[in-house]
Amino acid sequence: MNIGIDVGGTNIKVGLVNDNGEIVLKHSVPTPKDTAENFKNALENAVEELLKKADFDVDVKAVGIGVPGIVDRENGVLVFSDKIPYGNLNARELFGKKYNAPVCVENDANCAAFGEFSVTEGQKDFVFVTLGTGVGGGIVIDGNLYTGLNGVAAEIGHITTHAGGRDCSCGRKGCLEAYASVTALIDFTKEISDQLNIDPSKITGKTAFEEAKKGNAAALKVRDRWIEEVGIGVASIVNVFQPDEVVIGGAISKEGSVLLDPIRKYVAENDYSAGDPSLPKTKINLSRIREDAGAIGAALLGKKYREQVIK
């Protein structure tokens, strides 16, 4: 059995994942954000409690950990996040000793991408786009996670889609993230708050979707404009990668076909390969395993790492 650990800004989710990528047991604890010691203890305890929960003997074959921020893959170290104090935790040492198993660390969006990829069938090339505070992503090429020369590839949110446009959290202007993140959606919704019967401070990513459903014309316009921004990003990805599939994740993916259908339509119209209808086309879908994607992907990357180090 493989252990997958998905460290988020709110919770640490841990799961027992078999070699088929099925999560058979899971557990979750809040993420301590005060000290590195508390974070380390919570990480250890979460796994211990998960193993206690199991009513069978668990043979830990591999451990995979996905975290936001910067990791040192080579040494299995959690290096830096602006939200969680890692204290340069050597996770390979910690869990490797404890469970006598290979341990790998990876960026959280990459883990989610690999998790989502694992539930597809017969695919080789795959792009995951996650819409949240920012716009993140992960790329799978020929069945392997693609991370570039320095491990930080797939910053899909930092394609320029509106040169010279809105300020982005990265300090640049006009990035996809400044238009297609849920943060941007909230900003756009706040701009029309006088046309909604809602305290602006209570506006969330759901507001425009909910108010549009109720028939508010301004909310409908904001929602549809934002969805088109997502479509612009996905179409650019399709024109560069022509992958087997693009999957869109993040809590907002729960909006379902209201979100998916117009993205599919936009991409169908803006896919460069549209000129030749005989060519196979990239499938566009919403996340299938949502909150489990990170832990499943981390566990399967752990399994992959095990296969590399133990031959």
| Binder of a copy of itself out of 56, 74, 121, 150 (CB under 8 A) | 150
Among candidates 215, 218, 219, which has minimal Cα distance to 205?
219
DSSP letter string, 265-293: HHHHHH-GGGG-TTS---EEEE-SSGGGH
According to the binding rule CB under 8 A, does residue 70 interact with a copy of itself? yes
Question: Binding of a copy of itself at residue 256 (CB under 8 A)?
Answer: no
In a 10 Å sphere around its CB, with 0-12 CB exposed, 13-18 middle and 19+ buried, how is residue 55 labelled? exposed
Nearer to a copy of itself, 160 or 195 (CB): 160
Min CB(215)–a copy of itself separation in Å: 27
Q: Which of 32, 96, 132, 151 binds a copy of itself (CB under 8 A)?
A: 151
96 scored as a contact of a copy of itself (CB under 8 A): no
Q: Does 100 bind a copy of itself (CB under 8 A)?
A: no
Tokens of 13: 């989710």
User: Could you give the C-alpha distances from 38 to 33, 42, 96, 206, 284, in angstroms and in order?
Assistant: 8, 6, 20, 33, 40
CA atoms within a 13 Å half-sphere pointing along the CA-CB vector of 172: 13
Q: What are phi and psi of 139, to 5 degrees?
A: -125, 130
| Nearest distance, CB of residue 120 and a copy of itself, angstroms | 12
Structure token pair of residue 102: 């290979």
Chain positions 208 to 237 lying near a copy of itself, rule: CB under 8 A, are: 229, 232, 235-237
Q: Quick one: which of 146, 195, 224, 290 contacts a copy of itself (CB under 8 A)?
A: 146
- How far is C-alpha 104 from the geometric centre of its chain's CA atoms? 18
Spacing of C-alpha 19 from chain mean position? 21
Q: Which tokens sit at 177?
A: 């993230």
Count of residues of this chain found to bind a copy of itself when the rule CB under 8 A is applied = 47
Nearer Cβ to a copy of itself, position 279 or 310?
279
Cβ 27 to a copy of itself shortest distance, Å: 33
* Residue 122 binds to a copy of itself (criterion: CB under 8 A): no
| Contact window for a copy of itself (CB under 8 A) among 1-9, 46-54, 92-100, 153-161 | 153-161
Q: Which residue has the tokens 């979100």?
A: 259
Under rule CB under 8 A, residue 276 binds a copy of itself: yes
Interface ranges with a copy of itself (CB under 8 A) = 70, 124-125, 139, 141-142, 144, 146-156, 158-163, 170, 172, 179, 229, 232, 235-237, 239-244, 270, 272-273, 275-276, 279-282
